[in-house]
Structure 1
Amino acid sequence: APEGYRIVYIRMYDISREVLPLLLAELRKKAKMIYLVDHRDNKREIVSDMRE
Structure 2
Amino acid sequence: ENFVTGALARLQLARAYVLQGDTTKAKTVYNDFLTLWKDADPDIPILKQAKAEYAKLQ
TM-score under structure 2 length normalisation: 0.31
Structure number with the higher helix fraction is 2
Question: In proportion to residue count, which structure has more strand?
Answer: 1
Larger-Rg structure: 1
